[in-house]
């Protein structure tokens, strides 16, 4: 019963955030366009040698994802702050983790859609051949996106309400994401190559463990940070 109510709250928040995004569109289009633009700029800076570009493709895609993604997270709390809706949101009964879970779900959909565009652009622009192991590659990307979204959503719940939020969020988020960046890029590179060392499996386990650890930690900590 209570569980059903909580799940209803989670869905309501995610649906509300995504409806708002769908109707304004400017937000998503802007973030996705920025991701692709970063890829193009990296291509210009690192190219035009085809082999060098293929080599840099994975890193370029993840950097573009991180820099564009960071804009999405502050946005998701900005919606609440601009209209003064955070107070009513906090005043509803029900556990606070439902707010985090709802925001997380909304951001997950948002960032996944953006990553799909960035990855497609990366494949085209950097001339990456799709390997036979592509389902595993999708899994690696998904694990990376979960890590990014969990910590991004968590830190944005604070940075969006602080001074200098544009600076603070990347300062807090990017160093924390080093294991995600290393894991996702190394595993992706291994899967795009022959993975002779069988490295990918170890990195996938690390990414999964990272996601799990911080999913739990942020859910526990969120209740303490959302209060004003």
Partner 1 sequence: MPAPDRSLDARPARPPRTSPWMGVAAILVLAATQAYSISTSPAEGDMGHLQKIMYVHVPAAWMTFLAFFVVLVFSVKYLWKGREDDDLVAASAAEVGATLNGLTLVLGMIWGRPAWGVWWVWDARLTSTLVLFLIFAGYLALRAFVDDEQQRARWSAAVGAIGAINVPIVYMSVKWWRTLHQPPSSPATLDPAYTMGLRINAFALLFVMIFFIRKRYEIARLERAAEHAAEAAALGAP
Partner 2 sequence: MSNGQSDRAIDVSGLGKRFGARWVLRGTTLAVRPGEVVGLMGQNGSGKSTILRIVATLLKPNAGTAQVNGLNVVRDATAVRAQVGYLAHTPGLYDDLTARENLKFAADMLGMPATVVDASLERVGLARVAHERVRGFSAGMERRLALARLFLRTPTVLLLDEPYSNLDAAGVELINSLIGGIVRTGGAALVALHELAPARGLIDRTLTLVEGRIDAARPNLVGAAAGVA
Which chain residues interact with partner 1 by CB under 8 A?
A: 151, 154-155, 158, 162-164, 167-168, 171-172, 174-176, 178-179, 182-183, 186, 202-203, 206, 209-210, 213-214, 217-218, 221, 224-225, 227-228
Contacts by residues 122-125 (CB-CB < 8 Å, ≥ 24 positions apart): 122/39, 122/57, 122/60, 122/61, 122/64, 123/57, 125/39, 125/40, 125/43, 125/53
Of 29 and 50, the one with the shorter C-beta distance to partner 2 is 29
Positive or negative torsion for Cα 164, 92, 100, 67: negative
| Residue 23 Cβ vs partner 2, minimum distance, rounded to whole Å | 5
* Token pair 């109510």: residue: 5
> Residue 142 CB, nearest distance to partner 2 (Å)?
28
In the complex, minimum distance from the CB of residue 180 to partner 1, in angstroms, rounded to a whole number: 9
- CB-CB contact of 21 with 110 (8 Å): yes
Q: Give the shortest CB-20-to-partner 2 separation in angstroms.
A: 5
Tell me the closest approach of the beta carbon of residue 125 to partner 1, in angstroms. Answer: 25
Which of positions 19-38 make contact with partner 2 (CB under 8 A)?
A: 19-20, 23-24
CB closer to partner 2 out of 8 and 205: 8
| Site track 89-128 with partner 2 (rule: CB under 8 A), x = hit | xxxxxxx---------------------------------
In sign, the C-alpha dihedral spanning 121, 124, 127, 132 is positive
Residue 178 binds which entry of partner 1, partner 2, none, CB below 5-8 Å type-dependent = partner 1
Is residue 16 packed enough to be buried (19+ CB in 10 Å), middle (13-18) or exposed (0-12)?
Answer: middle
Across the chain, how many H-helices and E-strands are there? Answer: 9, 0
Whose structure tokens read 């439902």?
98
Task: Choose one: 50-58, 86-94, 133-141, 210-218; the region binding partner 2 (CB under 8 A).
Answer: 86-94
- What stretches of 28-137 adopt beta strand conformation (E)? none
């Amino acid at each position: 019963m209570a569980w059903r109510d909580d799940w209803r709250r989670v869905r309501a928040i995610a649906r509300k955030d995504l409806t708002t995004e769908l109707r304004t569109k400017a937000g998503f289009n802007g973030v996705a366009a920025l991701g692709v633009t970063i890829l193009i700029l990296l291509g210009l800076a690192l190219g035009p040698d085809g082999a060098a570009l293929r080599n840099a493709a994975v890193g370029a895609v993840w950097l573009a994802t991180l820099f564009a993604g960071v804009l999405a997270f502050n946005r998701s709390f900005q919606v609440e702050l601009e209209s003064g809706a955070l107070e009513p949101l906090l005043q509803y009964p029900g556990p606070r983790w439902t707010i985090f879970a709802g925001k997380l779900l909304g951001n997950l959909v948002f960032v996944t859609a953006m990553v799909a565009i960035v990855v497609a652009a990366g494949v085209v622009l950097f001339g990456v051949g799709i390997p036979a192991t592509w389902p595993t590659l999708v899994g690696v990307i998904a694990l990376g996106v979960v890590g990014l979204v969990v910590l991004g959503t968590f830190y944005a719940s604070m940075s969006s309400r602080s001074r200098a939020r544009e600076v603070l969020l990347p300062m807090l988020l990017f160093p924390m994401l080093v294991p995600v960046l290393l894991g996702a890029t190394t595993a992706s590179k291994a899967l795009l190559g022959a993975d002779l060392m069988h490295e990918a499996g170890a990195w996938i386990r690390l990414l999964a463990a990272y996601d799990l650890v911080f999913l739990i930690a942020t859910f526990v900590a969120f209740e303490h940070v959302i209060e004003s």
